[in-house]
Amino acid sequence: MTADGATGRVTRRRVRTRANLLRAAFSVFAAKGFGHVSIEEVCEAAGYSRGAFYSNFASLDELFFALYVERAELIAEQVSGALALDGPDLDVPAAVDRVTEALLLDRDWLLVKTDFLVHAARDPDVARGLLEHRARLRRAIADRLARARGHTALPAVLGDADGAAHAVVAAYDGVTTQLLLDRDVVRARAWLKQLLTALLTDGGAEPDPRGRGGGRGRSPWTPTS
């Protein structure tokens, strides 16, 4: 066996160990909450020693942030992927349907994320990292909206694509907070769809006398049926 072969085997084992620790930590954090979990509990849930933990993470904070990054990047991919399917023109109702169906609305993840937000609010270093990852999600959304803007108008009240991206993320935050309390995923998806459609269409347009919402001044974002 060559040294390269041995290194590859160690690397694969390390990747698997890290993934197992993250999966176990997610389960323990969701059940007990960050601040009530020890490294020993994570190791026990994953079936590893403290040595295996410290070979992958320096602390529970680092593990928690790695977990957050993993999920946040998944959400960014879901949103940007759903918005990218229309080409230069953006069919808002269809895009909103795709986004709301694709978005991760797992209550256990929301519990973990909320714990992390509270933890970050008390630690400026962690807060800076969290703000950067939230900014990355907004940039992915803003980039898609900006590319559509030459073909499809944004509601003026939002200012620009970055303002619209902030509004989209704020709507998601609000709906998921409610979901934590009422546990109604179906309602959360329906409410998120309503909010995003309202945000990304021109609510100031005059109503169509035929009841279709497409009267004088209708923005190209507004659905016609």
Name the residue with higher pLDDT: 73 or 12.
12
Q: Residue 116 to residues 34, 167, 225: CA-CA distances in angstroms?
A: 7, 22, 41
Q: Is the pLDDT of residue 14 over 80?
A: yes
pLDDT of residue 76: 72
Per residue in 28-68, pLDDT tens? 998 988 878 999 999 999 999 999 999 999 998 889 888 88
From the list 102, 114, 93, the residue with the least C-alpha distance to 176 is 114
Does this model's pTM top 0.75? Answer: no
Q: What is the phi/psi pair of residue 184, to 5°? A: -105, 95
**Percent of the chain residues past pLDDT 90, beyond the cut:** 24
